[in-house]
Amino acid sequence: MNLMSGRQVEYNLRRTMNKGLVSILNPDQLEQLAFKYFGVKNNNGEIRRVNVNIAATTVENYKLLKEKGIGTYILFQETYHKPTYDKMHPKSLKGDYNYHLTAFDRAMEAGIDDVGAGVLFGLADPRFEVLGLMMHNAHLEEKFGVGFHTISVPRLQPANGVSLENYPHLLDDKMFKKIVAILRIAVPFTGLILSTRETPEMRKELLKYGVSQISAGSSTGVGGYKEREEGKEVKQFKTNDERSPIEILKELLDARSKSYSPYSKFAVGAIILAKDGRIIKGANLENSAYGCSICAERTAMFQFKLLGYKKEDAEFLACIADTDEPVSPCGSCRQVMAELLAYHTPVYLYNLKGKNKKTTVEKLLPFAFSGEDLKWKK
């Protein structure tokens, strides 16, 4: 195997700390260096989870990854249509369709039950690809009791030396929205990931149809993050959303701009991402009788409840304000979180400088007072 040097691995790890996620290329690199950085902190970032995207490999190699405590193992089938797959992978390491297709079986046999799949829509008939994804997921659920943790839905984009004129199965926006909606209905608890291939407008629109995760600040070239810093990035394919992670955050939390805070001048925005992909926004609303004011977190949570959502329906809550450190919810908001959200619900705290902190409802208010405490003992 071709290994990155220790300095290269270290560089890439440190450059991605603030994202909380690192992708490594093969098991040897994990052994070589990567996992010594678990828990390493850099400014406001920390490596808490290492997700791995490597080519299909053996049960023995997957056991090695399992022993190292990886997060999600990600592998795209690219296309379930075998003739197309064979055409796209002539004489390559990925050329064995069946070996690639059964990679998740070997991973799960090795004890890895957190896997992320995906196809590149546009290579073959999209209806066939969706059926392939669902049959693959059903197979894993039947055999191992667990299916895909995530499904990525990239669309084919122009690339170096490649023209889209040779691909008759390209998806228009209307069909793409249908596919996202169908996947959300078919696998309601699976994360749907949308990449920077799509425009900001399309990414925002697809959150309504079921997308639950979006990437940001992506580089598509080999060694692209380092090359981008040096001003010589070469992209393998076109991306349409060039916004940084903090710009994505500001887009999602534009609720802050709706704040009515004429007295404190302290604007706060909050969102709740529901598991069906809907974003519920909140902002703080002040009153000249100060006691009548309400925080951004509570305006979001009350809307969440009134829309008919249950505690377990929240993917996360996030809030943002112009503070030196990540903004912290007040005591009243924490009590409402404990009432209307599940204790394990992630809570993301941000400031406008990009600093962030991840916590949970339970960590924000341990030993919370609840309805159980109001029940009289007989």
Active site residues per annotation: 297
Contact status, residue 194 vs residue 153, Cβ threshold 8 Å: yes
The two three-digit tokens of residue 110, written as one number: 């090795």
